[in-house]
Amino acid sequence: MDTKEGIQLSKNLNKKFGGSLSNWSIHEVYKGVVFLMGNVHGVDPTGRWATGYTVRTSNIISIQKEKYVETANTVYLLYGKENLHPISDELASKVFF
């Protein structure tokens, strides 16, 4: 899926488009609380983060592995294959929750 398709998908789902994430992995820190961590790949269209910045999404609503992830407000494209992000679930749960 390319950026143009990601933008269209986000519009269809009535969500903002968060750009692409690389070096991404799925984390479950509490039962039912599942999020994705990855690094900003390219330009963040929302202007929130710089390229390479580590992003933790909000709780995942749906995921199409190696394509995109949908959260409550945002759609992110997934660049490359799933790869364990260097921040562990245990640390992420302390930092982000």
- Give yes or no for a contact between 84 and 24, defined as CB atoms under 8 angstroms apart: no
Mean pLDDT of the chain: 87
Amino acid at 72: A
Q: How many helices (H) and strands (E) does the chain have?
A: 2, 6
The pLDDT score that the predictor gives to residue 87 is 72
pLDDT in tens, 59-82: 899 999 889 999 999 999 999 888
pLDDT at 97 over 70: no
- Per-residue pLDDT, averaged over 20-40, amounts to 87
> Rounded CA gap, 94 and 96, in Å?
6
Amino acid at 66: E
Higher pLDDT, 93 or 10: 10
For 14, other C-beta atoms within 10 Å of its C-beta total 7
> Rounded CA gap, 8 and 49, in Å?
21
pLDDT category, 31, cuts 50, 70, 90? confident
The pLDDT score that the predictor gives to residue 30 is 78
